[in-house]
């Protein structure tokens, strides 16, 4: 059964400073419990703010290292979900449900990509 990685991109400037609301966390917990019981969720987690991240880049044969925050980025990877689904349609359906648990003021984008086995 194929695996899909959903990279969760957020606009840190639109996220509440105090973090997700208790209501959002309750709805998210219920969805994660449901997707886990369905045998779909393999792993998921949120990431620390980009201000605590570091980018390592390879370009023209040289390494550069840049500490966050990354002011040139509108959206940053805020988390991920690794799912095992029967097909891409199922992965997209679970991803849509994930997005819908957020309040309307959030700006969240998920990039769903199949994991290449090999």
Mean pLDDT, the chain, rounded, equals 93
Report the domain count for the chain: 1
The neighbour count for residue 12, using CB atoms within 10 Å, is 16
pLDDT of 14 reads: 78
Q: Is the dihedral of CA 48, 51, 57, 59 positive or negative?
A: positive
pLDDT band at 99 (very low <50, low <70, confident <90, very high): very high
Residue-wise pLDDT tens digits, 49-76: 889 999 999 999 999 999 988 877 788 8
| Single pTM value for the model | 0.86
Q: Which two tokens stand for residue 2?
A: 């194929």
Q: What is the CATH number for 53?
A: 3.30.70.1060
Residue 90: give the domain boundaries: 3-115
The 3-class secondary structure across the chain, one letter per residue, is CCEEEEEEEECCCCCCCCCCCHHHHHHHHHHHHHHHHCCCEEEEEECCCHHHCEEEEEECCEEEEEECCCCCCCCEEEEEEEEECCCHHHHHHHHHHHHHCCCCCCCEEEEEEECCCC
Dihedral angle of Cα 79, 45, 3, 73, to the nearest 10 degrees: 10
């Amino acid at each position: 059964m194929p695996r899909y990685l959903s990279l969760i991109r957020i606009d840190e400037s639109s996220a509440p400073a105090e973090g997700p609301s208790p209501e959002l966390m309750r709805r998210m917990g219920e969805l994660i419990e449901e997707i886990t019981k369905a045998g779909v969720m393999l792993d998921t987690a949120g990431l620390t703010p980009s201000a605590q991240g570091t980018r390592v880049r390879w370009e023209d044969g040289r390494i550069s290292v840049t500490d966050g925050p990354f002011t040139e980025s509108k959206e940053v990877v805020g988390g991920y979900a690794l799912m095992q689904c029967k097909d891409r349609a199922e992965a997209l359906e679970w991803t849509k449900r994930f997005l819908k648990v957020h309040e309307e003021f959030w700006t969240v984008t998920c990039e769903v990509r199949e994991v290449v086995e090999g």
